[in-house]
Copies of this chain bind each other. A is one copy, B any other.
Amino acid sequence: MTVHAHPELTKNQSLVFGSLSDAGGPLTAYAILDILRENGFRAPLQVYRALDKLVEYGLVHRLESLNAFVACSHKGCSGHGSAAFAICEKCGEVSEFTPDDAIQLLKDWTDGKGFRLSRTTIELRGICRSCGAET
């Protein structure tokens, strides 16, 4: 498996991040656990602890509507605007993008309400181009 080393990552964090990067798409915590059993993982908490840190570092995103996690699509990630996700309900493909303009409009609303925004979740469900093109 590719290791995707990161200077600041511990061994477990690297393994979890590597499994997500290799998957090229979202995985549930338990799917990651199964993948990493051959690397000595035994319990969900090992995965969740690593995921907590990776999400904190911005290397991994959580997809709330799937209860799954995905590696950030920005190669040298670390520090960019909030992300949004288009999730194909047919093939499961997930496209990450960064709709700064839309997020600014949302922030305008929260500012007007005196709501201090800390995190945005934007997930779009639908059918991707290639699935929609099928007969």
Report which A residues bind B (CB closer than 8 A).
Answer: 64-65, 84, 86, 88-89, 95, 97, 99, 101-103, 105-106, 109-110, 113-129, 132-133
Contacts and interface: CB of A to CB of B under 8 A. Distances in A.
A105 B108 CA distance: 15
Contacts of A95: 113, 115
A67 B133 CA distance: 33
By CB atoms of chain B within 10 A, which of A99, A116, A127 has the most? A116
A115 B102 contact: no
A122 B123 CA distance: 7
A115 B124 contact: yes
B109 A99 contact: yes
B125 A106 contact: no
A106 B116 contact: no
Nearest to A121: B123
A43 to B, nearest CB: 22
Given A102-B105, A105-B105, A119 B126 contact: yes
